Amino acid sequence: MADARDLPVWENHADEIRQEIGEGKRSLELRDGNDRFQKVLATVPGVEKGQRFLDIGCGAGMWYVNFHYFDYVGFDQSPKMLELAKETYPNIEVVNGNALELAESGKYFQDGEFDIVFTSSVLQHNQHVDKVEILKGINRLLKEGGVFFCTENTFSSENQPLSVNNALYNDAYSFTVAGWICFMHEFGFELEQFHTVNQIYVYRKVRNL
């Protein structure tokens, strides 16, 4: 597993994606049929079209088609990934930066600027100390009552035997369901929904840090 700090890994991955696109093996526009995120968000109170939406670790913009009806901003540390996103979706708004710095007020965005923050398999690529910094940033960026919507690897007896009889099992990269809920609570988020299929979590910001 590549650590999120390993920028060269993600830059190289962007080169691989570009090559696959050139060879006709991949298209960044094929994810629009994957509407599982849309279906979940449709059930969340207060979520409306046009709201300010931040996709942290957006990569090459593969999820944009699922969230285009929001005021979408893609954020990623890899310039090459963002180049791909802009080539596929020229009107997309993207910001290049490090998620570990999102807790710095005004560094990239204003406090409480977003109604929704989304991450897909981002936290699981960060060691515990880095998860802490990212969640501090997400808390700062979300409005009061805002939604943190994410999908992350979740340990269970099926995929991680060490988690058996240990609900809070943590190896610095991921947690059990109970562990994620407990961890998020530390940073001002309360769970509203958990969907076993695709391991989708919906958290609500209930307090500032």
Q: Where are the domains of the chain?
A: 7-205
pLDDT in tens, 49-90: 999 999 999 999 989 989 999 999 999 999 999 999 999 999
Q: Which residue has the higher pLDDT, 184 or 36?
A: 184
pLDDT in tens, 109-160: 999 999 999 999 999 988 889 999 999 999 999 999 999 999 999 998 888 9
Question: In the prediction, which pLDDT does 48 show?
Answer: 96
Mean model confidence pLDDT for the chain: 92
pLDDT in tens, 13-28: 999 999 998 888 888 7
Q: Is pLDDT above 50 for 9? A: yes
Q: Residues 22-48: what's their mean pLDDT?
A: 82
Task: Indicate the pTM of the whole model.
Answer: 0.93
CATH 3.40.50.970 fits 7-205, yes or no: no
Question: In the prediction, which pLDDT does 26 show?
Answer: 83
Q: Which of 179, 106, 184 is nearest to 141 (CA)?
A: 106
What pLDDT band is residue 1 in, cutting at 50, 70 and 90? very low
Q: Which amino acid is at 98?
A: N
- Torsion on CA atoms 19, 20, 21, 24, rounded to nearest 10: 120
C-alpha distances in Å from residue 42, one per residue of 66, 67, 92, 194, 203: 12, 12, 22, 14, 14
